[in-house]
A and B are shown apart, each in its own frame.
Chain A
Amino acid sequence: EAGVAQSPRYKIIEKRQSVAFWCNPISGHATLYWYQQILGQGPKLLIQFQNNGVVDDSQLPKDRFSAERLKGVDSTLKIQPAKLEDSAVYLCASSLGRERAFFGQGTRLTVV
């Protein structure tokens, strides 16, 4: 079974620039999550999709972060403009139901 695919693996940008991350979930998984993991901390949910609808974006900094899930499959997460404190690993996860989330390898973002 193919896992959750994310790209790019690494990204370095200057502050105030924009960046986008891509995620392809496990086939058939209706639920897709984006988590932010700051160094030394546990993952924190940014946004959750059920098919192509948003069910929880309460922790998403909407002034600079946006996300979409086209046709209920792939998803992109965008940051514009980036701040230094956005340096983190961005993890995409997917699940069939409300348990057993499968995580991708993540995208490590460094904002300089």
Chain B
Amino acid sequence: QQQVKQSPQSLIVQKGGISIINCAYENTAFDYFPWYQQFPGKGPALLIAIRPDVSEKKEGRFTISFNKSAKQFSLHIMDSQPGDSATYFCALGGSTLGRLYFGRGTQLTVWP
């Protein structure tokens, strides 16, 4: 059973544009919402993460928006660059065990 639903599956954005990826979940027991970035042939790397006590977190060009009542969170990439072309995964975490439940991923392509 997929704990988190991620969309879109793929995204094509022009250089300088805004990339937006969305995730939705049902189980309110999670309290840690990270985004991972994965390049071909590499393992996922943590990009940015948020806790449900804040509605937004920004790190450089990357912003997470979190809507607790709607049980949704999204990743915004401002001024998208070709180097941002990668697969992005949202995840749910925060159980006492620490395991993560990943979305199916979004393949982002930024055209120069």
Contact residues of A with B, CB < 8 Å? Answer: 4, 31, 33, 40-45, 48, 55-56, 91, 93, 95, 97-106
* 6 A–B contacts, CB within 8 A, in A order: A43-B102, A93-B43, A98-B97, A99-B34, A99-B93, A103-B45
Closest CB of chain B to A105's CB: distance in Å? 5
Q: Are B98 and A99 in contact (CB under 8 A)?
A: yes
Q: Mark B41-58, 1 if CB is under 8 A from A, else 0.
A: 111111001000000000
Chain A residues whose CB sits within 8 angstroms of the CB of B91 once the complex forms: 42
**Other CB < 8 Å A-B pairs besides A43-B89, A56-B97, A99-B34, 12 of them?**
A40-B104, A41-B104, A41-B105, A42-B104, A42-B105, A43-B44, A91-B43, A91-B44, A103-B36, A103-B43, A105-B42, A106-B43
Closest CB of chain A to B88's CB: distance in Å? 10
Q: Are A98 and B93 in contact (CB under 8 A)?
A: yes
Chain B residues numbered 81-101 whose CB sits less than 8 Å from any CB in chain A:
89, 91, 93-101
Closest CB of chain B to A42's CB: distance in Å? 3
Chain B residues whose CB sits within 8 angstroms of the CB of A95 once the complex forms: 98
**At the interface, yes or no: B32 with Cβ under 8 Å from chain A?**
yes
| Nearest A residue to B102, CB-CB | A42
| Nearest B residue to A103, CB-CB | B43
Closest CB of chain A to B89's CB: distance in Å? 5
Give A34 to B96 CA distance when docked, in angstroms.
Answer: 17
Give A78 to B100 CA distance when docked, in angstroms.
Answer: 22
4 smallest CB-CB distances across A and B, nearest first, come from: A42-B102, A98-B98, A103-B43, A45-B99
Given contacts A4-B43, A93-B43, A105-B41, contact A98 B105 (CB under 8 A): no
Q: Are A45 and B100 in contact (CB under 8 A)?
A: yes
Chain B residues whose CB sits within 8 angstroms of the CB of A43 once the complex forms: 44, 89, 100, 102
